[in-house]
Amino acid sequence: MRTIAAAIAGSLLGIIIKPQADQANTIGITILVGIIFYYISHIIAKKMAGEIPKDKKKKLVTNGIFAFIFMLFTFMVIIFTVLNQHIV
């Protein structure tokens, strides 16, 4: 589920970011959108989990974070490249 949220966020970022964009703005937008989508996926995961023990609830926050980051950047780069491949 988190990888799907990351794919959606990465695709959105690939569309939003323009080739002439400032690098600082691009990094800020990427971090902000990533945090928003990760938080949304966390809320959905908590609702899906229901009643689980407290020790497993803490792990719910960090579970899948590296897959999320990897998919976010992968989809961002792929969509950005497909949309802007005519610029060389």
What local confidence, expressed as pLDDT, does residue 75 receive? 95
pLDDT of 55 > 80? The answer is: no
The percent of residues above 90 in pLDDT, for the chain, comes to: 50
CB 34 within 8 A of CB 53: no
What local confidence, expressed as pLDDT, does residue 19 receive? 87
Task: Tell me which amino acid residue 22 is.
Answer: D
Domain boundaries, the chain: 2-83
Mean pLDDT of 47-66: 78
Residue written as token pair 């980051």:
69
